[in-house]
Every structure is written in structure tokens, then in C-alpha cells.
Amino acid sequence: MKRVKLDKIDKKILNDLQNDGRITNVELADRAGISAPPCLRRVRALEEAGFIVGYHAHLDAAKLGYGVTIFVQVGLESQAENDLKKFEKRVSEWPNVRECHMLVGEADFLLKIVAEDWDEYQNFLTHDLTSAPNVSSVKSFLTVRQSKYQPGVPIDIE
């Protein structure tokens, strides 16, 4: 994408796609106030420039058998870059870990983990997470309910 600065139409397109990734190009163009062909060109340019990194469906975890969500703070014995990368690689191999964020502060990482139930999580905790090399501490937070889920980022269209 040659343009680095996003204009109002680009922001409108990003906002609408973020809210509904299944919107048709015709409807997206209509909402943005442009015709379909230039809208599609803008979407492709936004994808190529890395503003749009993917599309996905929001699934109901409970209906798929994942009844618990746990946030976990993980402390490592060493924060050397090589050790951090090794931990991140190991985390990427665990399908039940849905998010991994490196932190500044008391903990080194924050993980979002889904499991069928508390017993399955405890099994993962004892056999995988706490036994992983370099892990020195783990603090688990079982969620009670989710009151807000809004993926993406706020986009100021004005």
C-alpha cells in the first residue's frame, strides 16, 4: 500500500470489516460511500499493507466443549531473549493456549487458556506448563463469566 496515512474511507472500511468480517464487498462499499471496485482495491491494499491480518469466525467455546477459561501469569527463571523465545515456541505448540502476551512487571507472560473443565486444566498445568523448562511460577485465575468481548481495536472514523 503506497499510502501510509489512512483516510476516512479506509478507517470506515476497517471498522466495518472488524465488526463483520462476512460483509459483502457491495455492502462494505455502500457503507463507505464508494463503488464496489475501488472498495475491493482498498481492502486488498489494506491487507497487503498489513492493516488487515486475517479473518475468522467467533466460536462459542462452551458449545464446543470448552467450559472454562483461565488466565495464567507465568514467571520464568531467566528472561534472556533465547529463553523467552523457547518458552514462546513451546506455548505455540499447546492448542489450548489461545493467547500469549509477554509482560513487563511481576510476571513474564500472561496466557489465556481454555479447557473442557477444571480437571483438564489441572492436568495441563501439572504435566505441561509447570514442568516446562525455565518456568519458575504460575498463578491461575479461573474466569466466572465474560461480560465483554470486542476483538480488534477502537477506530476513530472522524
Write out the CATH class of domain 8-48.
mainly alpha
CATH fold of 62-142: Alpha-Beta Plaits (3.30.70)
Give the domain ranges of the chain: 8-48, 62-142
| pLDDT digits 0-9 by tens, 5-64 | 899 999 999 999 999 999 999 999 999 999 999 999 999 999 999 999 999 999 999 999
pTM listed for this prediction: 0.88
Extract the C-alpha cell encoding 35. Answer: 463503488
Tens digits of per-residue pLDDT, 70-93?
Answer: 999 999 999 999 999 999 999 999
DSSP string, 4-32: -S--HHHHHHHHHHHH-TT--HHHHHHHH
Taking Cα atoms as reference points, which of 113, 132, 133 lies closest to residue 122? 113
- pLDDT grade for 4, boundaries at 50, 70 and 90: low
> Do 155 and 18 meet the contact criterion of CB atoms below 8 Å apart?
yes
Grid cell at residue 140: 491461575
